[in-house]
Structure 1
Amino acid sequence: MKRRDLIKIFGISAVGLATVPFWVDSWTADELPQANVDIDDDQKLMLAGMIETIIPATDTPGAKELEVDRFVLVMVSDCFDKEVQTEFAGGFDEVNRASKDRFEKAFLNLSDAEKHEVLNKMLEAEKASDRKINFVPFVKDLTVAGYTSSKYVLENIMDYEQVPSRWDGSFPVNQEKYYNA
């Protein structure tokens, strides 16, 4: 193994360890640091529309209400190299191109069903060999990770308790079951 490759692996590992609190602990949008990804406001709106399509609101808040788009931007900014960040920013053009090819409208102007159709079509597409990420599956994975690790979901849906959780050391034991075997 070359020394440069080893240094790169250690650097990526250090970034991963720096973001461990997001994965181990729950998060809220107010607690997230500022993301440093080079995308414009229209792309941010597209990302919000994409995550809303991936996890829509039902009787529980959807990904957009929990501001998972901010989580996705922070993860892309802090955990991935510049090449992936550049491909991420270019992925929005791919989504717009696909929506214009299929419906002759920009992604933001599509109905929910049309957005769903465009994203599903792009989920099935193979990743180009010269690319590091496949944009829509990449966004979907980060959306699911962000949604399931959000404070609201952990506390209200998954009944998660922060470490150290309670310990109930006193419970009835059926002595016949354990001592008369």
Structure 2
Amino acid sequence: MNRREAIKRVTLLMGGTVIGASFFLEGCQRSASKDVETLFDPKSIDFLADLAEAILPRTKTPGAKEAGVGAVIPIMVRDCYSVEEQVVFLAGIAGIDERAKKEFGNRFQQIGKKDQTAFVDMLDREAQDYDKKKIAGELPHFFTLFKQLTLLTFFTSKLGATEVFRYVKIPGKYDGDFPYQKGDHAWAT
């Protein structure tokens, strides 16, 4: 599967467009702000992985952390987002622990899994409300950017494409009447 097809599939999963998708398709040739380099710190990567895991936790299938999403997000932010999008992303990430302390009494990584899920659900609702009200040309909510990167990097990872989706290295002929069984996974190829 090529990058263009993967982005189309993730976009369909998310029910909309991917912020910065044109840059992903062009090969990610954006310059980065110096502040983005802080995302490459091992503690930051672990933090991003835990935040992504709250969105896509391990169930019967691997979670975002196991798929290595935390290590890929800094690369995507650095290489693919405009400087303005990077500023929005970094400001939002920098405020996570403060928000978690306010809402749940502790830093994000120190609260329980149920509270982490509740926290990202709260951020998701906030982002959806913000993005509905924003004027054309305004930058998206930071959590919209984060969630899109989480989904994109997870579903295009080896684990996401082979253990969550059904994967056939070389698919067979087109069959428009292929029987669907309840619980079947979507195809990655």
Q: Which TM class, normalised by the smaller chain length?
A: 0.5 to 0.7
After superposition, give the CA deviation of every residue in 1:7-53 in whole Å (9 maximum; x if it has no partner). xxxxx95663215xxxxxxxxxxxxxxxx932254433321111111
**Distance of aligned partners of 1:167 and 1:121 in 2 relative to their CA distance in 1, 3 Å threshold:** closer
Distance 1:118 1:14, change over 3 A: closer
In structure 2, C-alpha distance between the alignment counterparts of 1:145 and 1:13, rounded to whole Å: 14
Cα distance in 2 between the residues matched to 1:61 and 1:14? 28
Cα distance in 1, alignment partners of residues 146 and 99 from structure 2? 16
Counting only pairs closer than 5 Å after superposition, residues 28-177 of structure 1 correspond to structure 2 as: 37-40=36-39, 41=41, 42-125=43-126, 126-127=129-130, 132-162=139-169, 165=170, 167=172
Q: Provide the identity percentage.
A: 24
Residue by residue, what CA displacement relative to the aligned partner does 1:53-85 show, whole Å, maximum 9, x if unpaired? 111112222110110122222221111111211
Equivalent position amino acid for 2:74 in 1: L
Whether the 8 Å CA contact 2:69–2:150 is kept in 1: the answer is yes
| CA distances 1:134-166 after superposition (whole Å, capped 9, x unpaired) | 12222112111111111223233323345xx25
Map of 2:25 onto structure 1: 16
Greater CA radius of gyration, 1 or 2?
1
**Residue 186 of structure 2: aligned partner:** none
3-state DSSP of counterpart to 2:37:
coil
Say if 2:46 and 2:70, in contact at 8 Å, map to a contact too.
no
Structure 1: tracts of 5 or more residues without a match: 1-11, 20-35, 170-181
Residue 91 of structure 1 and its aligned partner are, at CA, apart by: 1.1
Distance 1:100 1:17, change over 3 A: same
CA pair 103-149 structure 1, distance change in 2 beyond 3 A: same
Alpha-carbon separation, structure 1, partners of 2:171 and 2:114: 44
CA distance in 1, matches of 2:23, 2:116: 37
CA RMSD in angstroms, aligned pairs only: 2.8
User: Cα–Cα, structure 1 residues 94 and 133, in superposed 2: closer, same or farther, change >3 Å?
Assistant: farther
Secondary structure (helix, strand or coil) at the match of 1:115 reads helix
Q: Distance in 2 between matches of 1:114 and 1:105?
A: 10
